[in-house]
């Protein structure tokens, strides 16, 4: 298993043998196909983080269902920002890997 | 480390985002044309209504073309949300002007994606979009031809009915049987 990117709270890795991605959320590690990783990226990009500070999202929480509703997570503002950074960094690293491969 | 992204996806990830945005834009355009068709139908302009019904179907075809391209090449196409479609128009001329503006916006958006494809070296998507570049040129030409009629024909009373009939000819010229 190769680590692709590490953020403050989470770690993204890939397994060449199974051709799957893994995200370690601290208390739980979730396996992703590439399609499921793309879906997570899309969900994170769709989150309007401004709502966390302008009072529209008063609790500052986001509920994310992952891998076709196999997993359900509740994240606070800092965790969402960190997860966004993780996914951004993961795809950036994978792009570099594509260039080098 | 294996290049799993490339194994799964032929399209560059950033281009994938732009293509999904384009899907939304085509869907909005299709819905806007449907609203224009409805306005024409209510105002007895049957040929213009038919013109916009066909235009709406065409925009949906464009959307589906991109939709299939994404899914066929390992990406995920997202079904777009369409809201706030304008149904209020002051005249048929305003409708055609709005339609031309809409086509220009789509052309610009397609060109922008092509430029980004070149930056990201995504030649497959660039090649796929060549069809859209030609199609947009034809769409703009059709709308310009329609708008020119308003300079030539007085649209008061029977003139508007005459102009409406001419719209059918423009459509037939653009799509010969």
| Pairing state between β A11-15 and A20-24 | antiparallel
Residues in chain A within 8 Å Cβ distance of B17 = 45
Rounded Cα gap, residues A1 and A94, in angstroms: 14
Rounded Cα gap, residues B141 and B135, in angstroms: 10
User: Any bridge partners for residue A71, and if so which?
Assistant: A66
The reply to whether residue B4 touches residue A2, judged by beta carbons under 8 angstroms, is: no
Residue-level pLDDT at B166: 86
The average confidence (pLDDT) of chain B is: 93
Residue-level pLDDT at B177: 62
Cβ contact A41:A87 at 8 Å? yes
| Chain B residues within 8 Å of chain A (Cβ atoms) | 1-9, 13, 16-17, 74-76, 78
pLDDT beyond 90 at A7: yes
Rounded Cα gap, residues B45 and B64, in angstroms: 29
Residue-level pLDDT at A98: 87
Sheet order of strands, A29-32 included? A2-6, A11-15, A20-24, A29-32
Cβ contact A2:A97 at 8 Å? no
Annotated binding-site residue numbers of B:
26, 59, 62, 103, 136
| Count of structural domains within chain A | 1
**For B19-75, what is each residue's pLDDT tens digit?**
999 999 999 999 999 999 999 999 999 999 999 999 999 999 999 999 999 999 999
**What is the domain range of residue A23?**
2-100
pLDDT beyond 80 at B171: no
Rounded Cα gap, residues A16 and B14, in angstroms: 24
Mean pLDDT of the B80-100 span: 94
Domains and CATH numbers, chain B: 4-174 (1.20.1260.10)
Mean pLDDT of the A59-78 span: 90
Cβ contact B12:B122 at 8 Å? yes
Residue-level pLDDT at A82: 97
Rounded Cα gap, residues B16 and B10, in angstroms: 10
* Number of CB pairs, chain A paired with chain B, less than 8 A apart: 48
B8–chain A nearest CA distance, Å: 7
pLDDT beyond 70 at A99: yes
Residues in chain A within 8 Å Cβ distance of B13 = 38, 41, 91, 95
Residues in chain B within 8 Å Cβ distance of A101 = 1-3, 6
Q: How far is CA B84 from the centre of its chain?
A: 17
User: Any bridge partners for residue A22, and if so which?
Assistant: A13, A31
| Chain A residues within 8 Å of chain B (Cβ atoms) | 2, 4, 14, 16, 19, 21, 34-35, 38-39, 41-42, 45, 91, 94-95, 97-98, 101
Ranking A3-12, A67-76, A86-95, B105-114 by mean pLDDT, the lowest is: A67-76
* A1 contact partners, CB below 8 Å, separation of at least 6: A13, A14, A15, A22
The reply to whether residue A2 touches residue B78, judged by beta carbons under 8 angstroms, is: no
Q: How far is CA A23 from the centre of its chain?
A: 7
Which three-class secondary structure state does DSSP give residue A71? strand
Q: Work out the percent of chain B whose per-residue pLDDT is above 70.
A: 98
- Interface predicted TM-score (ipTM) of this complex, two decimals: 0.84
Residues in chain B within 8 Å Cβ distance of A67 = none
Residue-level pLDDT at B115: 97
pLDDT beyond 80 at A48: yes
**For A19-32, what is each residue's pLDDT tens digit?**
999 999 998 999 99
């Amino acid at each position: 298993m190769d680590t692709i990117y590490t953020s403050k709270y989470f770690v993204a890795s890939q397994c060449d043998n199974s051709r799957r991605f893994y995200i370690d959320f601290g208390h739980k590690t979730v396996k992703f196909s590439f399609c499921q990783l793309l879906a997570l990226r899309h969900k994170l990009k769709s989150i309007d983080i401004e709502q966390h500070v302008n009072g529209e999202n008063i609790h500052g929480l986001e509920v994310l269902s992952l891998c076709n509703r196999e997993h359900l997570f509740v994240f606070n503002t800092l965790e969402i920002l960190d997860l966004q950074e993780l996914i951004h960094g993961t795809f950036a690293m994978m792009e570099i890997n594509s260039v080098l491969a | 480390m294996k290049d799993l992204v490339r194994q799964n996806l032929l399209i560059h990830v950033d281009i994938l985002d732009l293509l999904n945005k384009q899907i939304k834009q085509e869907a909005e355009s299709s819905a806007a044309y449907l609203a224009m068709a409805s306005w024409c139908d209510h105002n007895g302009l049957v040929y213009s209504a038919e013109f916009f019904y066909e235009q709406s179907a065409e925009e949906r075809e464009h959307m589906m073309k991109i939709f299939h391209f994404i899914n066929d090449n390992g990406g995920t196409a997202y079904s777009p949300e369409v809201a706030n479609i304008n149904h209020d128009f002051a005249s048929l001329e305003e409708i055609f002007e709005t339609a031309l503006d809409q086509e220009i916006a789509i052309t610009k958006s397609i060109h922008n994606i092509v430029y980004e494809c070149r930056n990201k070296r995504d030649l497959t998507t660039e090649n796929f979009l060549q069809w859209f570049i030609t199609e947009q040129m034809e769409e703009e030409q059709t709308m310009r031809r329609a708008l020119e009629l308003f300079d030539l024909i007085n649209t008061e009373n029977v003139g508007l009915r005459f102009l409406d009939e001419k719209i059918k000819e423009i459509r037939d010229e653009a799509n010969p049987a």
